[in-house]
Amino acid sequence: DQQVKQNSPSLSVQEGRISILNCDYTNSMFDYFLWYKKYPAEGPTFLISISSIKDKNEDGRFTVFLNKSAKHLSLHIVPSQPGDSAVYFCAASDSGGGADGLTFGKGTHLIIQP
């Protein structure tokens, strides 16, 4: 039973436009959410996170929005750049902001087209 779902296996966006990656979760105990980015043959790298007490967190071109009532979060990348082409994983935790027992989604492959 998937507790963290990324329903779009891939997403193609033109360079300079906005990329929106979506993630849904089913476990209401999750209280901390993270996005990781992964290039081929490399390990995932942390991108941005959000606590359940917030509904938005911004870091440069990256913004994560959390809608707790809908159990939905999204990652916005503006403007999209070629280097953003990667697999993006949504992850969730129920350990009060910690990394214990992170549950990952299957990932969305973002392709930025020139």
The least distance separating another protein from the CB of residue 9, rounded to whole angstroms, comes to 8
Nearer to another protein, 76 or 106 (CB): 106
| Rounded distance between C-alpha atoms, residue 64 and residue 36, angstroms | 12
Question: Which x/- pattern, by CB under 8 A, does the window 19-38 give for another protein?
Answer: -------------x-x-x--
Nearer to another protein, 20 or 48 (CB): 48
Place of tokens 């996170």: 49
Q: Which residues contact 44 (CB under 8 A, 6 or more apart)?
A: 36, 37, 38, 89
CB–CB of 6/25 below 8 Å? no
Residue 92, Cβ density class (10 Å: 0-12 exposed, 13-18 middle, ≥19 buried): buried
Question: Which x/- pattern, by CB under 8 A, does the window 47-86 give for another protein?
Answer: --x-------------------------------------
| Rounded distance between C-alpha atoms, residue 93 and residue 7, angstroms | 19
Give the one residue of 46, 58, 81, 113 binding another protein; rule: CB under 8 A: 46
Q: Which residues bind another protein (CB under 8 A)?
A: 4, 6, 32, 34, 36, 41-46, 49, 89, 91, 93, 95-107
